[in-house]
Chain A
Amino acid sequence: NAGVTQTPKFQVLKTGQSMTLQCAQDMNHNSMYWYRQDPGMGLRLIYYSASEGTTDKGEVPNGYNVSRLNKREFSLRLESAAPSQTSVYFCASSEEGATYEQYFGPGTRLTVT
Chain B
Amino acid sequence: GESVGLHLPTLSVQEGDNSIINCAYSNSASDYFIWYKQESGKGPQFIIDIRSNMDKRQGQRVTVLLNKTVKHLSLQIAATQPGDSAVYFCAENGPGGFKTIFGAGTRLFVKA
Contact = CB atoms under 8 A, between A and B. Distances in A.
Interface of A: 4, 31, 33, 40-45, 48, 50, 56, 58-59, 90, 92, 97-99, 101-107
Contacts of B32: 98-99
B97 A98 contact: yes
B89 A42 contact: yes
B43 interface: yes
Interface of B: 4, 31-32, 34, 41-46, 49, 51, 89, 91, 93, 97-105
Given A58-B99, A106-B41, 16 more contacts: A33-B98, A40-B104, A42-B89, A42-B102, A42-B104, A42-B105, A43-B44, A45-B99, A45-B101, A98-B98, A99-B32, A101-B46, A101-B49, A104-B43, A107-B42, A107-B43
Contacts, number: 63
Given A40-B104, A41-B104, A42-B89, A98 B99 contact: yes
Nearest to A9: B41
A4 B4 CA distance: 26
A102 B99 contact: no
B64 to A, nearest CB: 13
B68 to A, nearest CB: 17
A90 B44 contact: yes
